[in-house]
Structure 1
Amino acid sequence: MERRKFLQNGTLAGISALALGSTGNTAQAAAPASTSDAKGKPFNMNYGPHDGMFKNSAGSDFLDQIKYAYDQGFRSIEDNGMLGRPAAEQAKIGELLNKLGMTMGVFVVDTGNNWKTSLTTGKQEFKDAFIKTCKESVETAKRCNAKWATVVPGYFERNLPIGVQTANVVDALRSGAEIFEPHGLVMVLEPLSDNPDLFLRTAEQSFEICKAVKSPSCKILYDIYHMQRNTGNLIPVMDWCWDEIAYIQIGDNPGRKEPGTGEINYKNIFKHLHKKGYKGVLGMEHGNASQGKEGEAALIKAYRDADSFL
């Protein structure tokens, strides 16, 4: 399923609801707190839900969902489609986040060419579209207080050698970095697993490109779900590429749902990130394993469980 579609469908999965019960609390390791006791306490790590994740509990208005997420202890959000929201709505979201002391996570630099052969070709039309969207993204970032924006270079150009494709992508990204740098905005390159046509596939490849771009505004988005599917070896690869990683996203595999629904040991990964001193956002870019308010409560409990690593 393509990245742009999964959020629309993620909450419809027909997996049975996770059982509600007690969950560990880091301040009371000897006497684990109940889920209700933990409610509202900030998590050890900075997890960021997205629009629709708590719609059954908070309603369809994203602003109300943000308030609800804050009340559950979350201190960030992310919104892939922020660029497409009206400017007034972007500003309202930024104002609310500022009032609550929450962080705005990534939104996508969506040129309309992310899911086709584009930047790898070296064609000026695609580079121009990318530069135009980067400039629009700066204005969006100002309104919603964003610091990171996701960039997807598109598909392979199978008629060109891989080195030429890479050079074309680096050239375009340097132009984008020049736009972002004066504003302190960082584009984070996301290697993906959605289909084999995508040019950017691994963290190591992204690391190489970031080193070639040589800009503080060009870093890696390490999406744990995609990296598990493409390469595995999650913690060692993360450590190899650490100085170029600026943002991390979450999703268990298989299924792309909350921690505890698949094969990834998220408690161990969160513990590792905590030890490394990671203070950034961990974007919850996944669907809900179960539907309704019960599914949303189970999702929160899953994060309480995975976050109880201290």
Structure 2
Amino acid sequence: MKRCGHYEADFAVNPIWHKQFGVIWLDISAQKIITYYPTSEEEHVYDAMGPIAAIVPIEDGEFIGVYKDGLYKINFKMGTKKPFTFPTGLSTMHYLNDAKCGPDGYIWVGSSDGFFKKFRETAPTAMSDYPFHNSKLYRISPNGEIQILLENIASSNGLAWQTETNTFFHIDSAKQSIFEYKFLEEGILEFQRVVYTSEMLEGFPGGMTIDAQGNLWMALYQGGLIAKKSKKPTRIICLNPTTMQILDEILLPVTHVTSCVIGGENLDMLYITTARDPISQAATTNEPMAGYLLEVPIHSVGIEQFVVPVMQRNSIKIV
């Protein structure tokens, strides 16, 4: 296991692999975009220009920045940010979260309930089922048209696709589960089954990626109170969604792991984001890798990430 670069994040999330920049990952607490190229070990830190949640590549070399309040077209090297499209009903307590480009060239982005974190970090409720399901999963075209794919979600998170079978995997972190759907046609998802549910003390499923064999690699995030109660190690698991068997696990020397992506020149390295928050300052001395991007060689091979076709319009759309 290798520590990548020098940047130490309070709360890192949603890494992607990009041929030009290498690993692009986010520190959402400090509102920074970090790039790390493994071959040269070159690292750069950019201002995210706001409360960014995810970043999605476009064919023309620029990016869609998914911010809590909506989607913007950004060039982080130039420091430019242009409004693109905005789902309605978002607020400081209900905001956009994880996002990726799907195999259809659309941006799939979920929302999350801001009360969920407080619920999990409050002792009387930390071990209880989360009662609210007000979030959504959106599918947004390269022209900014917005569709609602799923409702009654509590905290939308990891996204992955098996293109050969038109299968879509989606995490609702508050339900501790990965759900499997068939993507039948534009805008229609048919629920198939739950392929994994974590125990409360194991941590809840967070960021997720998929390899060329169709196996899911998923971070199990333990919040502050859960981590104190849990005797389960912090880990990434590799799950075969067909058999629902755990094939592999990577134990980590940090309390909080948030997400992962397969990258590297041969697509055989797993890059893992971690967090210092909510570790106490005193405890961070015992976790020298907390907050860093980590690299672990794996026996699987990843797939090229999907990119959004060049945008056909620049006007703002609110739906």
| Range of TM-score over shorter length | 0.3 to 0.5
Point out the structure with the larger strand share: 2
TM-score, structure 1 as length reference: 0.33
Point out the structure with the larger helix share: 1
TM-score, structure 2 as length reference: 0.32
Q: Which has the higher contact order (CA 8 A, sep 6+)?
A: 1
Larger radius of gyration: 1
